[in-house]
A and B are shown apart, each in its own frame.
Chain A
Amino acid sequence: MTGKHKFKDTDMQAVIGWVLRIGVIVSISIVFYGGVLYIIRHGHEVASHTKFVALPTFVQLGGIFKGILDYHGRSIIQFGIILLIATPILRIMFSVIGFILEKDRLYVCISLLVLLIIFLSMLNGHVG
């Protein structure tokens, strides 16, 4: 970027487009890889999802990293899903930066407010 170049809406559109595209490609690739592992290992077992049962700890938020280290297929899938859920949130963070560069204070605040609502929602899930 040259010194004279001013950050504009079109630049932000390009950046947001890339964030979304890369986020989807990376997370879906991880989901697919974990899925292949899971099917190879558990494909012959009997499927049962009729009733709500607590998920194993290695796919829960607390145990997922240990699950990945233990190379559980479902932990890897869940990690990909978490990245996918994080993609639109990352998009908002990039919008915040974009609006700061455009010196649009109103929309810096609006974007931060949306981020705050999502973070409060995360906290609430932990408490409740």
Chain B
Amino acid sequence: MSVTEFTLIILAGSCFAGFIGSLTGLGGGFIIIPLLTLLLHVDIHFAIGASLVSIIATSSGSAAAYVKEGITNIRLGMFLEIATTTGAVIGAMLAMFIPTHLLAIILGVILIITALLSLRKKVELIIKPKDGWAEKLKLNSTYPTANGTVHYSVTRIGGGFVVMWFAGILSGLLGIGSGALKVLAMDTIMRVPFKVSTTTSNFMIGVTGAASAVVYLQRGYIDPAIAMPVVIGVLLGAMGGSKILVNSKSSGWLRWVFVVVVVVLASQLIYNGIIGKI
């Protein structure tokens, strides 16, 4: 395979990954790492490095828009970034010592769990009672909706913090944004409204990714020849996906397609990891 062909295949695959990732809100890393390792037999460390770079790009790009609309809770994000960056640094260091086939198995298992989690029904509960820590940390806030400004309170800060720390470890270890886990921590545990939790999670992914990317960069795991088509492709795909998201409401079946694709890819990762082919 020539360098041009290799680059174009990655570009097309990353575009697809970015498109699907943005439509389902789970991010492009889910498809891009299996694509690089299974199809193109790229070393999994290079694949994780490239994926990290791409999640920084998409997170920063879309966060720019959400932050201006005033939906993102900047203080909540900043506070929880203490947990995600600490976790990310630990995860990135662990990744250097874990053999590649084991990384592939862990990634496969996490992908399946997250894909299944994304199917769960969500119940939104905006709470008013004041939590002492949330008050002290100034985490309670407001966000704009079509029906005016909504006030919300945040609760169970400690539990959310621990889950965020774990999300950071996974992000550093596997090069995924762990957006699903971040959202889970915020809306299920801390009772943050959906719109705020998704945009704040997205806001945090860039910083979490950067914390582990600096480690990958120094260890020589970010290969510009691979990262270049991945980051450009994922960003283009994600921009396309966000345009469509505004117009279509039927994301239900699409989510199922995504889950099936992810489960198939993840099983391949696990299988290849077990037989030692990765």
A14 to B70, CA, bound (A): 9
Minimum CB–CB distance from A64 to chain B (whole Å) comes to: 10
A121 interface residue per 8 A CB criterion: yes
A28-B78 contact given A87-B206, A106-B138, A117-B85, CB 8 Å threshold: no
Q: Which of A13-47 contact B (CB under 8 A)?
A: 13-14, 16-18, 20-21, 23-24, 27-28, 31-32, 34-35, 38-39, 42-47
B interface, over-half SS: helix
Indicate if the CB atoms of B209 and A88 lie closer than 8 Å: yes
Chain A residue numbers with a CB within 8 Å of B89 are: 117, 120-121, 124
Total residues of chain A contacting the partner, CB 8 A: 66
Indicate if the CB atoms of B82 and A13 lie closer than 8 Å: no
Minimum CB–CB distance from A106 to chain B (whole Å) comes to: 7
A114 interface residue per 8 A CB criterion: yes
Indicate if the CB atoms of B63 and A85 lie closer than 8 Å: no
Which of B13-21, B152-160, B176-184, B226-234 contacts its partner?
B226-234
Minimum CB–CB distance from A128 to chain B (whole Å) comes to: 7
Indicate if the CB atoms of A121 and B92 lie closer than 8 Å: yes
Q: Which of A80-119 contact B (CB under 8 A)?
A: 81-82, 84-89, 91-92, 95, 104, 106-107, 110-111, 113-114, 117-118
B219 interface residue per 8 A CB criterion: yes
A52-B46 contact given A78-B224, A85-B53, CB 8 Å threshold: yes
Chain A residue numbers with a CB within 8 Å of B4 are: 39, 43-44
A110-B229 contact given A88-B60, A118-B210, CB 8 Å threshold: no
Interchain CB contact (< 8 A) of B42 among A10, A13, A50? A50
Indicate if the CB atoms of A121 and B215 lie closer than 8 Å: yes
A88 to B213, CA, bound (A): 11
- 1/0 per residue, CB under 8 A from A, across B221-261: the answer is 01111111101100100000000000000000000000000
Minimum CB–CB distance from A111 to chain B (whole Å) comes to: 6
Interchain CB contact (< 8 A) of A87 among B60, B85, B223? B60
B269 interface residue per 8 A CB criterion: no
Indicate if the CB atoms of B209 and A74 lie closer than 8 Å: no
Closest to B53 in A: A81
Indicate if the CB atoms of A46 and B3 lie closer than 8 Å: yes
A1 interface residue per 8 A CB criterion: no
Indicate if the CB atoms of A118 and B56 lie closer than 8 Å: no
B272 interface residue per 8 A CB criterion: no
A69 interface residue per 8 A CB criterion: no
Indicate if the CB atoms of A24 and B61 lie closer than 8 Å: yes
Interchain CB contact (< 8 A) of A17 among B65, B96, B225, B235? B65
Minimum CB–CB distance from A120 to chain B (whole Å) comes to: 7
Indicate if the CB atoms of A59 and B224 lie closer than 8 Å: yes
**Beyond A12-B74, A24-B61, A77-B224, 20 additional pairs, beta carbon < 8 A:** A10-B70, A16-B64, A17-B64, A18-B64, A35-B228, A38-B225, A43-B2, A43-B7, A44-B3, A47-B6, A55-B223, A74-B224, A85-B209, A86-B210, A87-B60, A95-B78, A117-B85, A121-B211, A125-B217, A125-B219
